[in-house]
A and B are shown apart, each in its own frame.
Chain A
Amino acid sequence: MLRYLLRRLPVTALVLLLATVPIFAVLRMAPGDPAATLAGPDASPEAVAAIRHDLGLDRSLARQYLSWLGGALHGDFSTSFVNGAEVSGLVGRGLGNTGTLTLCALVLAVLLAFPLGVATALARTARLRTALSALNVVMLAVPTYVTGVLLTMVFSGALRLLPPGGYVPVLDDPVEGAQFLVLPSVCLALPSAAVLARFLAASLQRVFHEEHYFASRMRGLSRRRLILRHGLPNAVGPLVTVLGIQIGHLLGGAVIVEAIFAWPGLGEAMVSSANARDYPMVQAMLLLAVTVFIVLQLFSDLVYALVDPRVREQP
């Protein structure tokens, strides 16, 4: 196992290194000058040039790239062009907020998926099955920006129960913070809950066909006990693998949910720094995204290698 990991590591590092090139280049290919934005509308060309110099943008691209890469290797991501704060701090804050939102959504998704999945697996009548699958399709297919607008209309417009957007740190004030979290997490959780419910139902039904389950049933165990003791624990396994992928998609879906509910997370930071051509910020965030993806990929390959010895043995 360790040998497999050791074999994969250099390739992974190489891919990450190669990825830094497009990460560095993508915004620089796009038109727009961060110095001009910073200097303001009435700045003279000399003032813009001075700012370009201060930001180090007058150096050659290769030198800029190397100094960024060198800094990044030491964990130094430089400072934001826009407000001069440490990029690592800003990204960390965004990551914390997006992480909070994603985590809440994930927990909610799992909480919703269990009853839905079990109900779908156990549904006997055709009508109930149709209703449940219709609910599932709706949860899955209706885009987050639609559910977001709907939720805002109902819960903050009509009922005035929850704020339409914004943010209070949950750690500062758990009661207020939680109220700001509810709508965005529900909005983000619904599609994932639908996916998880489908998987849960599918694997539950498969478990029902298995011999030991059949045997337990023959032994006369109660239905409830059967599901809790034998059905669910056996069905949860495959669900865990899906959960990993869902985390990735929740993070992605956060872009639009953050825009709807004005949640100051990574998605929002991404959009505003891209707008201002804040190169250090965008580079750090892209690097983070690619690293997360590559690590997830490596992780899932490792899991497969663990499961399937043939993969391990392949040259």
Chain B
Amino acid sequence: MSAILHPPHGPGGLSRRALLGGLGGLGAAALAGCTPVARQVGSGGHGRQGGSLVMAQAEEPNLPTLRQQNNSNTSWSRLVFNSLTQYDHRTYRPRPQLATDWELTDGGRTVVLRLREDVTFHSGRPFGPRDVAENIAYQADEDGAPGQLRSAAAAVADHSVTGRNEITLRLAHGITNFFDLCEIMMIVDHESIAELESGEVINGTGPFAFAGYDPGIAMRFTRNPRYWLAGRPYLDEVELHIDSQPQAIVASLRSGQTDVAYALNGLSRLTVRDDDRLRLIEVDTRDAGYYVGCNVEQEPLGDKRVRQAISWAVDRQKVLDMALQGIGSVTSVPWTPVSPAYSREAAGHYHQDLDRARSLLAEAGVSGARLELAISGNEPGGVRSIAEIVLDGLRAVGLDASITPLQPAEFQQRLGTATLPGLWINGHGFGQLNPATMLNGAYPFNAARNASNFSDPTYLRLAEQVWTTSGQDAARAAYAEVTDFLLDQQFVIDLVSSSVTYATTRALHGCAFTMFNYLVLDEAFLGEG
């Protein structure tokens, strides 16, 4: 049978030789032709003006959830859009963006916003008061995936255009987080709001115009020559690559293919830190909170003493130092330091105290109880490391716990239906927003319905109170009361409030961030590493 399969003699040998030679040549050319990719440094060398920037992130941009502060849209939104104001990171005061000036009267119930005059959308249409009104209405809209600031937007009862570039808003009641709204709300061309979520038209006033999107591959942006900030931006184009493997993103950073990587975590951060051509930037809002959730329907977690014991058993410092590479601060409360509800004392309430944990467990009559600790996925570092440290604490106080890595889709589903097997580790945001937003919107804490199956009339009352209280002192008292309640109940055990990180090459200069992690490239340029 082998005879039949023989190739014809002469030509076979010849073509093989040709193939060999050709491949050898290609290989030699590839290796000798230029600097190896592995030794390239970020591009640069020319002046500030021009150049194209490559960003990379693991998550797919998600247009239907543009109103939510999702990680998937954080890196690129501020390139295309502007907000009305932008907080100063140090003073936490709003500063002008599309709004140049504002006046709050009548206990915060009347707001006059004066708008920048020389602004046009990428489509060429001038920006005006009508855009502000329509965008607030869009934020208040309940259809689709509503934003976290829906409630704040809905508080705007009425508006009137009081000048060519002035709008007066009348609020149903004073809200403390009005400038959160002005900061988060990306101003979209009001004529194309309907086409925004489908991605048909993405029209803003930002430094770069949206230039195309290949799902799963990349989003592209080109310089907006009519940007209202004179002479800006420097860069000609920006490309956002989507690569679901963080490891590939780190590799492309190191080989100079990528200039900015968003939301790297875990061990990839270590690699970035170790590479002197790269820089790791922590966004200083500390809005990535990591917590241990308790499903209170799973015994013995129904007993709050057990939950407190778990809180005492965990070594938060180790979680911060080893699992989160020291980025952030340990905490026992969901609020971040910039939140009005934050108090240093409450944040330091829990720390590792094994004896206290053991005695609480003994008091509750629980010994050697079996507990499952669920995590999403099983990637090295990150949440898995947190779980391992938490587990170490649980075992130290005599709880028989084990880690169950669930595939992300299963984890998400069980979280949403509150059927996780006992304990779980996850992250939550919004710690820097108004506490009312968190207690009524964020799923881990939602008083009406949460992942922990925790329902309690006191909690409902407190959440309501935080929501409706007006006046600074009353609000502070309400915040303190709810903080104490959360510290006592511990159905969500906060561990660390950490930060999202951007990794950039040293060649990239002048990139900045808003208080809500949005990347700002107005002043960015590629220079010498």
Chain A interface (Cβ < 8 Å from any Cβ of B): 30-34, 36-37, 39-43, 45, 47-48, 80, 82-85, 90, 93, 107, 111, 156, 160-168, 174-176, 178-180, 182, 203, 228-229, 232-234, 236-238, 240-241, 262-264, 268, 272, 274-277, 306-308
Contact = CB atoms under 8 A, between A and B. Distances in A.
Interface string B411-424: 11111110000000
Interface stretch (B33-41, B301-309, B483-491, B517-525): B33-41
A90 B245 CA distance: 16
Given A36-B412, A179-B37, A306-B4, 20 more contacts: A31-B414, A34-B409, A41-B428, A42-B441, A43-B443, A47-B145, A160-B36, A166-B255, A174-B26, A179-B30, A237-B3, A238-B2, A240-B5, A241-B5, A263-B248, A268-B244, A268-B245, A276-B408, A307-B4, A307-B5
14 contacts: A33-B409, A36-B417, A41-B428, A43-B416, A45-B416, A83-B216, A160-B39, A162-B38, A167-B248, A233-B6, A234-B2, A237-B2, A263-B248, A307-B5
A39 B36 contact: no
Contact of B6 (A33, A43, A236): A236
Interface core residue of B5, B60, B441 (most chain A CB under 10 Å): B5
B107 interface: no
Given A42-B441, A85-B214, A238 B5 contact: yes
Contacts of B417: 36, 45
Contact of B38 (A36, A161, A234): A161
A288 B467 CA distance: 54
Given A37-B413, A42-B443, A262 B248 contact: yes
B65 interface: yes
A83 to B, nearest CB: 4
B435 to A, nearest CB: 16
A107 B428 CA distance: 49
Interface core residue of A30, A36, A47, A307 (most chain B CB under 10 Å): A36
Chain B's interface: helix, strand, loop or mixed, by majority?
A: helix
A272 B246 CA distance: 12
A42 B451 CA distance: 10
B230 interface: no
Interface core residue of B33, B60, B408, B412 (most chain A CB under 10 Å): B412
A98 to B, nearest CB: 15
Given A82-B60, A83-B216, A37 B409 contact: yes
Given A40-B145, A161-B36, A163-B255, A229 B9 contact: yes
Given A42-B443, A160-B38, A237-B5, A84 B215 contact: yes
A164 B252 CA distance: 9
B38 A233 contact: no
A303 to B, nearest CB: 8
Contacts of A83: 60, 215-216
Interface string B1-13: 1111111010011
Contacts of A90: 216
A182 to B, nearest CB: 8
B407 A80 contact: no
B247 A262 contact: yes
Contacts of B254: 163-164
Interface core residue of B27, B29, B37 (most chain A CB under 10 Å): B37
B251 interface: yes
Nearest to B26: A178
A31 B416 contact: no
B162 to A, nearest CB: 36
Given A166-B251, A180-B37, A40 B243 contact: no
Contact of A164 (B251, B377, B415): B251
A272 B252 CA distance: 19
Contacts of A178: 26-27, 30-31
Interface string B429-466: 00000000000011100000000000000000000000
Interface string B191-218: 0000000000000000000000011110
Interface in B97-150: 145, 148
B329 interface: no
Contacts of B285: none
Contacts of A167: 248
Interface in B8-25: 9, 12-13, 19-20, 23
B410 interface: yes
Contacts of B27: 178
A12 to B, nearest CB: 23
Contacts of A237: 2-7
B70 interface: yes
Contacts of B377: 275
Contact of B407 (A32, A42, A262, A263): A32
Contact of B248 (A31, A48, A165, A238): A165
Contacts of A179: 30-31, 36-38
A285 to B, nearest CB: 14
A147 B425 CA distance: 34
B514 interface: no
B317 interface: no
B426 interface: yes
Contacts of A203: 2
A84 to B, nearest CB: 6
B257 interface: yes
B85 interface: no
Nearest to B246: A262
Contact of B12 (A41, A233, A272): A233
Contacts of A276: 408-409
B37 A272 contact: no
Contacts of B38: 156, 160-164, 179
Interface in B215-271: 215-217, 243-245, 247-248, 251-252, 254-255, 257
Nearest to A278: B409
Contacts of A48: 416
A32 B410 contact: yes
B151 interface: no
B243 A274 contact: no
A62 to B, nearest CB: 23
Contacts of A176: 37
B68 interface: yes
A48 B428 CA distance: 19
Interface core residue of B38, B377, B426 (most chain A CB under 10 Å): B38
A188 to B, nearest CB: 16
Contacts of A166: 248, 251-252, 255, 257
Contacts of B415: 36, 41
4 smallest A-B Cβ distances: which pairs?
A: A262-B248, A32-B409, A178-B30, A85-B215
Nearest to A81: B409
